[in-house]
Chains A and B, each alone.
Chain A
Amino acid sequence: MTKKYRLLALLTAFLLVFPILFVVMLSLGKTWSYPALLPEHWSVATWSSLFQDQRISQGIVLSLIISISVGATASFLSLLLARSIAYSAHQRQWLVGSYLPYLVSPVVLAAAWQYYFLRLGLSGQVQGVWLAQFLITLPFGVIFFNSFWNSHIRSLEQLAATLGGSPWQGFWLVSFPLAKGPLLICFFQSFLISWFEYGLTALIGVGKVQTLPLLVFQYVGEANIFYAALASCLLMAPPLLLLWINKRLVFIRSEGMEDQKE
């Protein structure tokens, strides 16, 4: 029985990891014609040529700054906003507004917002790109946290209030500690939404705010699949690294919790 599950776990892990290994492999190829299973010629020239371009490292730093700050701000704020909505009488109506950014591709949204960003003088600016990305990640967090603010949590806060705590104390001392796990998932997702954003960044930033996706995304759709694969690796590596750090934190915490229980 356990053996069967172990096998199933292995198979699942393989399916999850395989696409990424496949892309890494392609990024090292040079020619790959049918029916060769693996590229016939290998080359690290693709990697070294891109790394010589110092714009790439600058792009990575800029992207990291934007995405981490957007992710952190949006996830924390959305936790608070979702709370307000959960306490309001028209929860559903409010929430509908949060779905809108996901109804159409960000390219369309960008076209609709471009006018206002131009009027506000934010077009072509890092601040403008930051704001635009923040505006599309925030609703995600609000929806994400909607189920967090269930009656159970709310009654805990009420309990704190009856015991004489202020609403802020109720939030900070009671709910917030419980929200840490979801906050991490939400942060990671918001970070990713921001990290991968291309269409919105290109239009609001007028191609001048050169985040990593802007620098390498055009390769992904182009003829050279090896560059496309390399660009994909570059886009995936920082989130994977973040994941590794993040995961360690989660690990330590959850194992600590298990210990307390036992």
Chain B
Amino acid sequence: MLARLGLLLYVLLCVVPLALGLGYVAAYSFGLIGLLNHGFTTVHWQAVLQDKAFWQSLGFSLYCAFSSMSIVLISASALLMALRKQLSRGYLSYFIYFPLVLPTLVAAFICFQLWSKSGFISRLLFQIGFLSNLEAFPEFVNDACGIGIIFTHAFMATPFFTLLFLQLYKSEKIQALQDLALTLGATPGQTWQKVALPILWQKSIFSIFLYFVFIMGAYETPLLLGRQSPQMIAPLIIRKLQKFNLQDIPQAYAITTAYLLLLMGVAMAVLRNLKMRAV
């Protein structure tokens, strides 16, 4: 009964609003609704699917999310392995929360002020004689590889995953499992590699996936730290949605629909796959 009621609420509060949103966006992209539309048409979809920028943008978003999450998982795991005690009590257990209070736009702003050619790091290097002028400072923001975007997201997400891992480490009694593995003759390294980390990663797979799609949909960071081309998916959508040409709005919605459907498909496949392996 309780579970039934929960499901009903879930449908009402999570599924229905999203379906409504998706329905609106899809109907708009096919010209069915909207002030500037004149009935069913597939021209907006054709325009989007034939646009090289859309596919590039998809690839670039994927690349940024993947690179960022790799860094996050490696550093969160490393922090857990090395500083478990310090993270549980003492000053570090407090400071680890600090990056969480950064809004994305602020994080991007800080990254820009630190790492641009005239930023703080460049000034520091200049002052200690490492740089002869600001032009010599390498490109870390607005660069072709999205370095600024990737590291800003990594910086924001690492503490969250460190905390999550720490929580799981306790609740799943991983220490006990590791001790057991040790008595069975495993080396300390193996207890992490073969026991602890696989459990942690598998247990947090949903959160990992969530953050992955969250980074893929990032807007503020690529706007300030990225380039106009390749552009991540959200800036592409917003450009079509809000820039000078109102006739582009249906295209913005076509991109949104295509992107949502694509990722929902991928999400289904990935989650099924992971679950099966876990079982």
Is chain B a partner of chain A in the same complex? yes
Interface residues of A (CB under 8 A from B): 5-6, 8-9, 12-13, 16-17, 19-20, 22-23, 26, 34-37, 77, 80-81, 83-85, 87-88, 92-105, 107-109, 111-113, 115-116, 134-135, 138-140, 142-144, 146-147, 150, 167-168, 171, 178, 181-182, 185, 188-189, 192, 196, 198-199, 213, 217, 220-221, 225, 228-229, 232, 235-236, 239-240, 243-244, 247, 251, 254-255
Most buried by B among A6, A108, A235: A108
**A88 vs B10: C-alpha distance when bound (angstroms):** 12
CB–CB B263/A77 < 8 A: no
Stretch in contact with the other chain, from B38-46, B52-60, B93-101, B189-197: B93-101
Residue B105 CB within 8 A of the other chain: yes
Known: A105-B238, A167-B3. A92 touches B272 (CB 8 A): yes
Q: List 19 A-B contacts (CB under 8 A).
A: A17-B95, A19-B155, A22-B113, A22-B120, A23-B106, A77-B13, A81-B13, A85-B7, A94-B10, A99-B264, A104-B260, A112-B21, A112-B256, A147-B203, A147-B204, A147-B205, A178-B171, A225-B109, A244-B94
Counting residue pairs across A and B whose Cβ atoms lie within 8 Å, the total is: 244
What bracket does the count of chain B residues touching chain A fall in?
35 or more
Q: Please give, as numbers and ranges, the residues of chain B lying within 8 Å of A97 by CB-CB distance.
A: 14-15, 18
CB–CB A96/B206 < 8 A: no
Q: Please give, as numbers and ranges, the residues of chain A lying within 8 Å of B259 by CB-CB distance.
A: 103-104
CB–CB A99/B89 < 8 A: no
Q: Please give, as numbers and ranges, the residues of chain B lying within 8 Å of A111 by CB-CB distance.
A: 241
Name the prevailing secondary structure of the A interface residues.
helix
User: Which of B101, B127, B237 makes the CB contact (< 8 A) with A192?
Assistant: B101
Q: Please give, as numbers and ranges, the residues of chain A lying within 8 Å of B124 by CB-CB distance.
A: 37
**A87 vs B272: C-alpha distance when bound (angstroms):** 17
The 8 closest A-B pairs by CB, nearest first: A84-B6, A112-B21, A105-B219, A196-B103, A239-B101, A105-B234, A232-B106, A9-B86
CB–CB A5/B103 < 8 A: no
**A106 vs B263: C-alpha distance when bound (angstroms):** 16
Known: A16-B95, A102-B213. A88 touches B123 (CB 8 A): no
**A117 vs B15: C-alpha distance when bound (angstroms):** 16
Q: Looking across the interface, which residue of chain A has its beta carbon closest to that of B125?
A: A35
Residue B17 CB within 8 A of the other chain: yes
Stretch in contact with the other chain, from B66-74, B140-148, B160-168, B176-184: B160-168
**A228 vs B124: C-alpha distance when bound (angstroms):** 22
**A95 vs B79: C-alpha distance when bound (angstroms):** 29
CB–CB A188/B100 < 8 A: yes
Q: Looking across the interface, which residue of chain B has its beta carbon closest to that of A35?
A: B126
User: How far is the CB of B150 from the nearest CB of chain A, in Å?
Assistant: 16
Q: Please give, as numbers and ranges, the residues of chain B lying within 8 Å of A198 by CB-CB distance.
A: 103, 105
Known: A84-B5, A254-B88. A103 touches B110 (CB 8 A): no
Q: Looking across the interface, which residue of chain A has its beta carbon closest to that of B152?
A: A19
Provide the B236-253 mask, 1 if CB < 8 A to any CB of A, else 0: 011001000000000010
User: How far is the CB of A143 from the nearest CB of chain B, in Å?
Assistant: 5
Known: A22-B110, A99-B210, A143-B210. A81 touches B101 (CB 8 A): no
Q: Please give, as numbers and ranges, the residues of chain B lying within 8 Å of A96 by CB-CB distance.
A: 264, 267-268, 271
**A104 vs B209: C-alpha distance when bound (angstroms):** 14
Q: Please give, as numbers and ranges, the residues of chain A lying within 8 Å of B260 by CB-CB distance.
A: 100, 103-104
**A168 vs B2: C-alpha distance when bound (angstroms):** 7
User: How far is the CB of B275 from the nearest CB of chain A, in Å?
Assistant: 6
CB–CB B127/A37 < 8 A: yes
Q: Looking across the interface, which residue of chain B has its beta carbon closest to that of A106?
A: B219
Q: Looking across the interface, which residue of chain A has its beta carbon closest to that of B2?
A: A167
Residue B25 CB within 8 A of the other chain: yes
Known: A22-B120, A255-B89. A139 touches B9 (CB 8 A): no
Q: Looking across the interface, which residue of chain A has its beta carbon closest to that of B91?
A: A13
Q: Please give, as numbers and ranges, the residues of chain B lying within 8 Å of A84 by CB-CB distance.
A: 2-7, 9-10
Q: Looking across the interface, which residue of chain A has its beta carbon closest to that of B6?
A: A84
Q: Please give, as numbers and ranges, the residues of chain B lying within 8 Å of A240 by CB-CB distance.
A: 98, 101
CB–CB B104/A196 < 8 A: yes
Residue B22 CB within 8 A of the other chain: yes
User: Which of B91, B127, B203, B217 makes the CB contact (< 8 A) with A102?
Assistant: B217
CB–CB A192/B100 < 8 A: yes
CB–CB A235/B218 < 8 A: no
CB–CB B9/A167 < 8 A: no
User: How far is the CB of B268 from the nearest CB of chain A, in Å?
Assistant: 6
CB–CB A108/B95 < 8 A: no
Q: Looking across the interface, which residue of chain B has its beta carbon closest to that of A147?
A: B203
Known: A17-B98, A23-B106. A101 touches B203 (CB 8 A): no
In B193-235, the 8 Å CB interface with A consists of 203-207, 209-210, 213-214, 216-219, 224, 233-234
Known: A83-B3, A104-B233, A104-B237. A99 touches B213 (CB 8 A): yes
CB–CB B267/A112 < 8 A: no
User: Which of A81, A92, A236 makes the CB contact (< 8 A) with B268?
Assistant: A92
User: How far is the CB of A194 from the nearest CB of chain B, in Å?
Assistant: 11
